[in-house]
Amino acid sequence: MTSATSPVSAAAPAGAKPATMAQALQRALRDAMADDPTVHVLGEDVGTLGGVFRVTDGLAEEFGDDRCTDTPLAEAGILGAAVGMAMYGLRPVVEMQFDAFAYPAFEQLISHVSRMRNRTRGRMPMPITVRVPYGGGIGGVEHHSDSSEAYYMATPGLHVVTPATVEDAYGLLRAAIAADDPVIFLEPKRLYWSKAAWSPQAPAEVEPIGRAVVRRSGHSATLITYGPSLPVCLEAAEAARAEGWELEVVDLRSLVPFDDDTVCASVRRTGRVVVVHESTGFGGPGGEIAARVAERCFHHLEAPVLRVAGFDIPYPPPMLERHHLPGVDRVLDAVARLQWEAES
């Protein structure tokens, strides 16, 4: 579990109050449902209980159980129902309790959700948002701590986004619900309780999906990351100052579509890149990110692109979790190797 501080400090907007990421997500759902009667929330325990992480708390009481609906424990059926709702003109927001719980729904996701717009030549969009709590850091057991973003990234037709701040939790979820294409909305569990001074953005202020952001400027190397690994990279960047390194940190926010422009602009400034994420190294997002950097920014690289990732094993039990997740020391080791590669 993270500390109760936000991974990014910024000037608080007027009227801002302390809020957690979970509260910002709940507010985004509430505001979307209030603004648009076609928005419906469905999933296991989202109604009476308010969700395992209480992100849907109070929605059933305010909007009724016909718009915030408890479902059976049947993920394929939940997503199949969402497909029918979208075909009928609704905007369903599906909650999968944990990342690995979504696996039984992959048939619906791959065969129908991701393909329907193309299959109908654009006549039938799929404005479905699938909320997926993912990643480790909370001592969860197998199936409760997976980082399966690579599966979604490899499925054409899906947008894949993940917030790392309270502000982005609200803004990206509003943007996802408003999108006419299906969005996999990955929520980093260990950041649910992170806090920041925040006030909801007006609809006109919500950024569209597909834009990365530089969270920390530097010139020695670029750390490319997202979601739960952002606080790790920011801490590593601060620690690297003692070695005389000024690390730039890029928060992708959106894995699909990918913001090549922001990433390549950073690479041109630094010439060195480390990609950091909890998913596995082999076949993980870092390989695709490294390939895109090599294709677009090769002549600006002074060393090979390195990856710091989870190990290529099923997620370990809680007592081994801290050894499995990328930490500050592993990030700094990669940066030191970059310096050696560039100088050799």
Catalytic residues, by residue number, are: 144
Element (H, E) at 323: helix 321-324
Are 335 and 315 in contact by the 8 Å Cβ rule? The answer is no
Q: What are phi and psi of 134, to 5 degrees?
A: -140, 170
State how far the Cα of 54 lies from the Cα of 164, in Å rounded to an integer.
Answer: 18
State how far the Cα of 255 lies from the Cα of 79, in Å rounded to an integer.
Answer: 22
State how far the Cα of 59 lies from the Cα of 46, in Å rounded to an integer.
Answer: 8
Q: Which residue has the tokens 């729904």?
A: 105
Amino acid present at 145: S
State how far the Cα of 7 lies from the Cα of 164, in Å rounded to an integer.
Answer: 7
Q: In what order do the strands lie in the sheet with 129-134?
A: 68-70, 39-43, 91-95, 129-134, 183-188, 159-161, 254-256
DSSP characters over 189-219: GGGTT-EEEE-PPPGGGPPPTT--EEEE--S
From residue 60, give the alpha-carbon distance in Å to each of 45, 64, 132, 143, 165.
11, 5, 20, 27, 26
Query: Residue 81: CB partners within 8 Å, gap ≥ 6?
Result: 42, 71, 92
Q: In what order do the strands lie in the sheet with 306-310?
A: 213-216, 247-251, 221-225, 273-280, 306-310
